[in-house]
Structure 1
Amino acid sequence: MDSRVGRVERLTGETTVVVELELGGQGYAVTTGVGFFDHMLATLAHHAGVGLTVRAEGDLVVDAHHTVEDVGLAVGQALAEALGERRGIQRFGFAYAPLDEALARAVVDLSGRPYAWVAFPQGLELALVTSTFPLTLVAEFFKALASRGLLTLHLDVERGRDPHHAAEAAFKAFALALRQAVQLVSETVPSTKGTLHL
């Protein structure tokens, strides 16, 4: 079977991002300049069962927003490239992941249709995970990933008090759902349309 690999370089006035992603690969090397985000990307790679390299430099003197969003765009694009025609994939995946009091649910459809719904418990939406990483950046990352990955994502943190736990549960739930969705289970495109491209 051909390897399923995507590589993306994204260069803007705000960020420089290089992403390599291999479905079914192993290992990760992540450097974005945002420590908590590095931890979340490593968590995603480990639980999704993908090899992932991310090198990013951004305008962190402003804040982490541009870096997180642009990494999301690049990871999504690399995922779409690795999936190719999406022939033979499971297509759908869903998972729950807890972290102590936090519980997250992710549902993924590698449909070719970009959409993301990301929700946190009332009262946590504007919480800070760290002094420089608001929980809102988790939603921005997944919205960017879904838009370029051409996938539909429903990601709900159903309960939680600690913003770190809420964020990490969200990344783990998405990773587990993605791992299921990218599995090869047949030789056909899993759509009555015969294609998963827009």
Structure 2
Amino acid sequence: MRIVKSARRTDETEISLTLNLDGSGIYDVDTGCGFLNHMLELFSRHGRFDLTLACRGDVQVDYHHTVEDIAIVLGRAFSEALGDRAGINRYGTCTLPMDEALILAAVDISGRPAVGYALEVPTEKVGDFDTELVEEFLLGFARSLGCAVHVRRLAGTNSHHIIEGMFKALARALKEAVAIDEKYALEIPSTKGTIL
């Protein structure tokens, strides 16, 4: 079973997390930010990752440290759960409609962090959540996991729908990328012989 417990404490945030890559999408998320809770719950359900996450952060400042640090801990948990990456598909893509929005997400668990961000969210906020933090989340996650993540808005005018579509598409792309190909279960999916 690819199950990891992780924690991180700084002067800005205190985070505890349990992740099961081979779950059924059960979640218990409390970040101190309602919109982020909603996005991580969608991420868990659509990726079929079981996720328990609690964060106490300096939300009286804003949500920046909370979002970035959760992404770091989540990326590290994915990395630990994947071990040496043997047998994984490595790549995953999803094009996902969310009402009027159409979002593309693609990932490569390559050991090389990169983010291609072309989400183009029309408003600066959804509720009290700064929409620029979506890119910060992806940067923290990609660096900690060691993966390339590309997200692109193909259509859409509603900021909530665009961001929600991105989290759902990312989850489904990751679900494909982390899945084990039983035919090559012992093989590292790289001609280098290593991904780490």
Cα distance in 1 for residues equivalent to 2:136 and 2:58: 16
Per-residue deviation at 1:120? Answer: 2.0
Residue 180 of structure 2 corresponds to residue 184 of structure 1: yes
2:145 corresponds to which residue?
A: 149
**Where do 5+ consecutive residues of structure 1 fail to align?**
none
More off after superposition, 167-176 vs 112-121: 112-121
Tell me how far 1:143 sits from its aligned partner. 1.0
Give the equivalent residue in structure 2 for 1:39.
38
Q: Deviation at 1:10?
A: 0.8
**Is 1:58 matched up with 2:60?**
no
Say if 1:69 and 1:141, in contact at 8 Å, map to a contact too. Answer: yes
Q: Report the counterpart of residue 89 of structure 1 in structure 2.
A: 88
Q: Select between 81-90 and 95-104 the one with higher mean Cα deviation.
A: 95-104
TM-score (norm 2): 0.95
Letter in 1 for 2:119: F
Secondary structure of the 2:92 match is strand
TM-score (norm 1): 0.94
Match of 2:74 in 1: 75
Q: Which amino acid aligns with 1:184?
A: I
Residue in 2 that maps onto 1:8? 6
The count of corresponding residues between Structure 1 and Structure 2 is: 192
- Pairwise CA distance, 1:144: 0.5
Task: Determine the C-alpha separation between the residues in 2 that align with 1:31 and 1:141.
Answer: 16
Provide the C-alpha distance between the structure 2 equivalents of 1:183 and 1:120, rounded to a whole number of angstroms: 26
1:157 Cα offset (Å): 1.8
Cα offset for 1:19? Answer: 1.4
For residue 161 of structure 1, the aligned residue among 137, 157, 164 is: 157
Residues 93-108 of structure 1 correspond to what in structure 2 (within 5 A)?
93-108=92-107
What residue number does 1:127 align with?
Answer: 124
Corresponding residue SS for 1:7: strand
Letter in 2 for 1:127: E
Cα deviation for residue 137 of structure 1 reads 1.0
Q: After TM superposition, what 4+ stretches of structure 1 lie above 3 angstroms from structure 2?
A: none
Q: Distance in 1 between matches of 2:163 and 2:82?
A: 26
Letter aligned with residue 160 of structure 2: H
- Write out per-residue CA displacement over residues 76-106 of structure 1, whole angstroms, 9 at most, x where no aligned residue: 0000000000000000000011111111101
Letter in 2 for 1:149: L
How far off is 1:134 after superposition?
Answer: 1.6
| Structure 1 vs Structure 2 CA RMSD | 1.1
1:50-79 CA deviation, whole Å, 9 max, x = no partner? 111110000010001110110000000000
Cα distance in 2, alignment partners of residues 190 and 116 from structure 1:
21
Residue matched to 1:49: 48
- Could you tell me how far apart the structure 2 residues matched to 1:110 and 1:64 are? 27
1:23 aligned to which of 8, 21, 24: 21
Residue identity opposite 1:14 in structure 2: E
